[in-house]
Amino acid sequence: MAISVRPIGPDDLPDVTRVLTGSWGGSTVVALGRGELVDAAELPGFIAESGDEVAGLVTYAVGEGAVEIITIDAVLPGKGVGRALLDAVRTVAAERGVTRLSLLTTNDNTHALRFYQRYGFDLVALHRNAVDRARALKPGIPAESDGIPIRHELELELLLEER
């Protein structure tokens, strides 16, 4: 399967909203770690395509010294889409001279934890009960996934070499 990745453009809003809604119940997500609601559809990002089909999506925010991945979703999982999307964000960070990629995931998301660590991310912090606080902002966050209570945030980073 040939995957192409390109920056999200204004015409992609319906697809972006559809993918985010399918994964997160809407385009508004709690930016983990910041404890605030963010409309991910308004963020910069990349869209992955397989032919005419949307294969995945990543959104990010450029902060002080780090590019933070806000959402990443592979519509077609296990085919290299997630890796290709991370590669694209990594390139943006490098172009801007930013040497740190950061993200947060939740304690239940063992698949994502595996994926990020295999990519090269390292765990740097545990934010205990942070999802309980996020639920106050977005009550639709499920209580559990795969039989695991969703409670905590795990912070990961990938340090990039300075150019």
Ligand X SMILES: CC(C)(COP(=O)(O)OP(=O)(O)OC[C@H]1O[C@@H](n2cnc3c(N)ncnc32)[C@H](O)[C@@H]1OP(=O)(O)O)[C@@H](O)C(=O)NCCC(=O)NCCS
Q: Which residues would be at the binding site for ligand X (CB under 6 A)?
A: 23, 72-74, 77-83, 105, 109, 111-112, 115, 118
Please state the closest distance from residue 27 (CB atom) to ligand X, in A. 14
CB of 111 to ligand X, least distance (A): 5
The distance of closest approach from Cβ of residue 80 to ligand X in the complex, given in angstroms and rounded to an integer, is 3
- 18 vs 83 by CB, closer to ligand X: 83
Cα distances (angstroms) measured from residue 44 to each of 1, 69, 75: 25, 10, 18
Q: Which is nearer to ligand X, 69 or 93 (CB)?
A: 69
Cβ of residue 97: shortest distance to ligand X, in angstroms?
25
Task: CB nearer to ligand X: give 97 or 119.
Answer: 119
Looking at the Cβ atoms of 98 and 102, the one nearer to ligand X is 102
Give min distance, CB of 42 to ligand X, in A: 18
Closest CB to ligand X among 109 and 163? 109
Q: Which residue is nearest to ligand X (CB)?
A: 82
DSSP strand pairing (100-106 vs 28-31): unpaired
